Amino acid sequence: MGQNIIDVKNLSKSFDISSKEPGLKGTIKHFFRRQTKSLKVIKDISFEIKEGEIVGFLGANGAGKTTILKMLCGLIYPSEGSILVSGHLPFRRKENFLKNITLIMGQKQQLIWDLPPIESFYLNASIYDLDKFEAKKRIKKLSEMLEIDEELFIPVRKLSLGQRMKSELLAALIHEPNILFLDEPTLGLDINAQRNLRKFLQKYNKETNATICLTSHYMKDITSLCKRVICVHEGAISYDGKLNLLLKRLSPVKEILIVCRSEKDATKLESSGFTVKNKIKNEITIKIENNSITSSLKTILNNFDIEDLFINEPPIDEIIGKVLIKKDYDI
Amino acid sequence: MLEYRVEIALWAISGIIPFFMLNIWTNNNLNESINISDIMLSRYFLCAFFVRQFSVVWVVFSFEEDSLMGKVSPYLIQPLNPFFRYFAQHLAEQITRFPFALIIAFFFFIFNPESIWIPNLGILLLSIVSTFLSFLIQFLIQSIVACLCFWIEKASSIERLLFIPTLFLSGLLAPVVSFPAYVKSWIYLTPFPYLIDFPANLLSGNETNISGGLSMQILWIFLLLPLFKKIWSEGTKKYTAMGS
């Protein structure tokens, strides 16, 4: 892993929000005396991201993940603190900085709706000062990676969501940025399209050593792409570290279903000191702590007549769900 | 594609206010009071129609919608000011309007054969330049108003206020020469008469100060451009990327 490419220190962002009571009375009151309040949506956060890293931002709706991404790519101005991305202050939006980054928002598109995607690709190529030959080469390469071909020549409005998303990615990557900000890139895609997109991002990261910052509510996106996650809770960072450590921390025990040769063996196992969740005839489910799983299984296999054995991983969505509602995770 | 062609045709037809005004002026012999012949007046309003066709601007509405819906976000992180996209859209639509404007002019000459004239090449080129400068002035004015979206969200309301002086002082409803002298002296200090009146007079062959008019158009562009840059730079700091 290379040096730091993103450096965030004591970053905060506040928005002025106005509120209105319902009904005619509320409307009149709002017209003459508009009440606004300042809402701090990002609270004094600091983190660093290394070149080539893929980092997932996790958090509930409104936690502040997208706002962080928007500040990192220079779309919105921070209220306090500092951000350095690839040595640039993002908000200045200098040409050298903008040519190095891209932002893809699952629910927003940059393709020209009434024209085929190829037209948008060539337009973007001109914006990023690519000559026609180079643009053609990159379009060919990326379309092969994304497995799109005929779709390039069909008006965007006639494409399926998956085809459109692939085209969006191509448009956003034609200038070969080395930092990708992805805000829910798989939103609304079917399982196959999601998997293909993840495969593409992995390949892109591997081939170009691009840094990827990603938000997603699909846990599969996070688990298959990100080794590191930053959990955001009410605008503050509640966890920043390895995903597997977080999972171990949140789920310290595993459930093991053991099928014994006889009910007698199951009863013997039940009284041998393990934490038993339930027992039905010759099947018994026990809970074992992650750090003693090897030794415990060894003991069981040596001392009991076992027919079969299943280790149940707790559902990842359930574990991550805990992150979204809890404030601090000390690892 | 049919709906797009119809939309462009309707846009072209919607700009026929000058022909209504011509009718009002000639039926009431109003032109006698300003010493313009019927023929010159009809040429003026035809030219006003043409200038309007190729200088009309709607960037405030496009930008307001894109800004409020968050559609402008992807363009903001590209190394090109998003207003260049709107500028290109306007130019593209002006080109597609051209055949429709010619058809309308053809019918105008069928009903007013005495108005047919061929401007000399020099005047025609200067008129094209002047119309383009008029378009630039209007584009800059509307872009400045559009940037108010960053503060007040509904910038198009301000544009509607600007539409009133544009309508009355630009020469769309009446040649500026028809205004009382003391009003005229003030009007010529504003950008409005250089939007329609000056290029239309130039193209139609009416008496006009060519160098003075072109200089004023350029002067207004030089005044408006830094103002736009400033308001854009301040406004983007306020951008909250709503809707995305």
Digit-coded pLDDT (tens) for B193-232: 999 999 999 999 888 899 999 999 999 999 999 999 999 9
* Residues within 8 A of B (CB atoms), A 160-179 only: 172
Q: Do B73 and A101 touch (CB under 8 A)?
A: no
Task: Please report residues of B whose CB lies closer than 8 A to that of A116.
Answer: none
Asked if the C-beta of A128 comes within 8 angstroms of chain B's C-beta atoms, the answer is yes
Task: Please report residues of B whose CB lies closer than 8 A to that of A91.
Answer: 237
Q: Which residue of A has its CA nearest to B151?
A: A16
pLDDT of residue A36: 81
Q: What is the SS3 assignment for A175-205? A: CCCCEEEEECCCCCCCHHHHHHHHHHHHHHH
Of B5, B19, B86, residue with least CA distance to B52:
B19
If residue A12 lies in a helix (H) or strand (E), which one and from where to where?
strand A4-19
Summarize the confidence of residues B128-137 as an average pLDDT.
96
Structure-block tokens of residue A41 = 């949506």
Listed in sequence order, the residues at least 6 apart from A38 whose beta carbon sits closer than 8 Å to its beta carbon are A14, A15, A16, A17
CB pairs under 8 A between A and B: 53
E-assigned strand segments in A69-178: 80-85, 101-105
**Minimum-distance CB partner of B74 among A74, A110, A128:** A110
Q: Is the ipTM of this complex over 0.90?
A: no
**Numbered residues of chain B with Cβ closer than 8 Å to any chain A Cβ:** 4, 70-71, 73-80, 236-241, 244
**Cβ proximity of A169 and A141 under 8 Å:** no
Probe site for chain A from B73, B84, B93, B233 (most A CB atoms < 10 A)? B73
Count the residues in chain A.
331
Between residues B138 and B120, which one has the greater pLDDT? B138
Q: Which residue of A has its CA nearest to B244?
A: A108
Low-confidence ranges of chain A (pLDDT < 70): 1, 107, 314, 323-331
pLDDT of residue A329: 55
With 0-12 / 13-18 / 19 or more C-beta atoms within 10 angstroms meaning exposed / middle / buried, residue A66 is buried
**Minimum-distance CB partner of B244 among A77, A91, A105:** A105
Q: How many angstroms from the chain centroid is the CA of residue A326?
A: 18
Per DSSP, what are the bridge partners of residue A312? A255
Q: Which residue of B has its CA nearest to A70?
A: B241
Q: Do B74 and A105 touch (CB under 8 A)?
A: yes
Q: Which residue of A has its CA nearest to B81?
A: A127
Q: Is the pLDDT of residue B17 over 80?
A: no
Q: Which residue of B has its CA nearest to A114?
A: B1
Structure-block tokens of residue A280 = 């039905």
Q: Tens digits of per-residue pLDDT, A140-157? A: 988 888 888 888 999 999
pLDDT of residue B215: 96
